[in-house]
Amino acid sequence: MTTVLKQAADARVASIDLAAATRAEKDRALLLMADRLVERAEDIVAANAVDVNNARDAGQTEAMIDRLTLTPARVEAMADGLRQLAALPDPVGDVVRGSTLANGLELRQVRVPFGVVGIIYEGRPNVTADAAGICLKSGNAALLRGSGSAFSSNAAIVAVLRKAVADTGLPADTIQLLDATTRDSVKELMRARGLVDVLIPRGGSSLIRTVVEESTVPVIETGVGNCHVYVDQSADLEKALAVTVNSKTQRLSTCNTAESLLVHADIADSFLPLVLEELALKGVTVHGDPRVANYSDDVVPATEDDWGREYLSADIAVAIVDSMDDALDHIRRYGTGHTEAIVSESATTNRRFAARVDAAAVMINASTRFTDGGEFGFGAEIGISTQKLHARGPMGLPELTSTKYIVSGNGHTRG
């Protein structure tokens, strides 16, 4: 048995005990995990510095280094996420629906853990604590396969979390880190059907596509985000400017950052000079169509590739459209089904946009950056699902469960 399969088998054993754990037991573990992260923050940041220095030596972009970097404040934020999870209701055992059948049988559909959840992710080591915490709270054992670029950070974090879990009496193998020095561990995890119940990839389009296409384990597809902001002809200019700039610049390296801006032609003369100036002040490079280029010499001509890109950097693609239908056509062609935003003062237009756009989240006069489990009040999330089966949008605790039917009778037999 390979190391990965051995870890998966150990996780399967751990998941049996974890599935039966009470909320109090799980919350005690989460709170101790949070406290230990803060206590060991200096060690975690030191381990992270090794990864950051290696990334700089390898010529990684500043956006990628930002995703990788941990500070004491970010470690504290990781701990806060675990504390928030402890405060949330436990989904395990919730009755989804129930009834008494005509024959007297009592039927209940209840939430149960998946069992063993594998998470394959890139770059951001804070995902390690988030994923471990949300899996534990939902009763699932977690197999974590982070990127090689964050291996020192992830190893330090997981060592702290495993010790905390064990100290509360739950199995340490509830949380395991897979080797990230070769691609073999990813391949073996994707083939561990029967030991691993579901895989969740978090990262770029190449990673997600590979996992979706090659895995024999069921996959929940998450989060490539080519998110659009559409500024309608009825938009309030002040709102449109605030929403656009926040969507693009509040944090550059996230999947809910806006990568494209579509502006109705009737409002272009009023809005584009304002937004182009503000984006320039924020250091954002605009890749625009020929009509947008007429408003500034700094606009870079957009290529076909620009319209479909998830930049994760200080870049944005901008186009002028002649109608909302043109905007919707553009989004259907290039969007990734993550988050789409409209800025409009017309209730009719807003309803029509929300009904016709195909995305996990639609923002009306609000930043795309709000598509987030924490912002939605779910606590830490495992990712943003862009598929349509089982879960869509921010995946909180209920989305990390399946269901089972429990049928109670009194000697009932079927005739």
Place of tokens 């795309």: 368
pLDDT (0 to 100) of residue 169: 97
Q: Which amino acid is at 184?
A: D
Place of tokens 């030191």: 46
Structure tokens at 305: 């590739």
pLDDT (0 to 100) of residue 199: 95
What are the b/e assignments for 307-324, b being 16+ CB within 10 Å?
A: bbbbbbbebbbbbbbeeb
- Cβ atoms of 225 and 337 within 8 Å: the answer is no
Q: How many CB atoms lie within 10 A of CB 332?
A: 12
Cα distances (angstroms) measured from residue 230 to each of 130, 251, 259, 357, 363: 32, 19, 11, 11, 10
- Cβ atoms of 121 and 134 within 8 Å: the answer is no
The total number of residues shown for the chain amounts to: 415
- Cβ atoms of 200 and 142 within 8 Å: the answer is no
Structure tokens at 282: 């924020």
- Cβ atoms of 214 and 244 within 8 Å: the answer is no
Structure tokens at 321: 């459209």
Write out the CATH class of domain 227-370. Answer: alpha beta
Rounded CA-CA distance 207/226 in Å is: 16
Q: What is the pLDDT along the chain (415 residues), one digit of tens a residue?
A: 789 999 999 999 999 999 999 999 999 999 999 999 999 999 999 999 999 999 999 999 887 898 899 999 999 999 998 999 999 999 999 999 999 999 999 999 999 999 999 999 987 899 999 999 999 999 999 999 999 999 999 999 999 999 999 999 999 999 999 999 888 999 999 999 999 999 999 877 788 888 989 999 999 988 778 999 999 999 999 999 999 999 999 998 888 999 999 999 999 999 999 999 999 999 999 999 999 999 999 999 999 999 999 998 999 999 999 999 999 999 999 999 999 999 999 999 999 999 999 999 999 999 999 998 878 887 667 888 888 887 888 888 999 999 999 999 999 999 8
What is the phi-psi region of residue 140: left when phi exceeds 0, alpha when psi lies from -120 to 50, beta otherwise?
beta
- How is the chain split into domains, by residue range? 3-222+382-408, 227-370
CB half-sphere exposure, 82, CA atoms < 13 A: 30
- Sequence-distant (6+) residues with CB within 8 A of 316 are 248, 258, 259, 260, 261, 279, 284, 285, 286, 287
Structure tokens at 17: 């005990």
Rounded CA-CA distance 298/301 in Å is: 10
3-state class (DSSP) for residue 306:
helix
pLDDT (0 to 100) of residue 182: 85
Furthest C-alpha separation in the chain: 81
Domain range 3-222+382-408, CATH architecture: 3-Layer(aba) Sandwich (3.40)
- Sequence-distant (6+) residues with CB within 8 A of 414 are none
Checking DSSP bridges between strand 106-113 and strand 401-408, what pairing results, if any?
A: antiparallel
Residue 200 C-alpha from the chain's centroid: 10
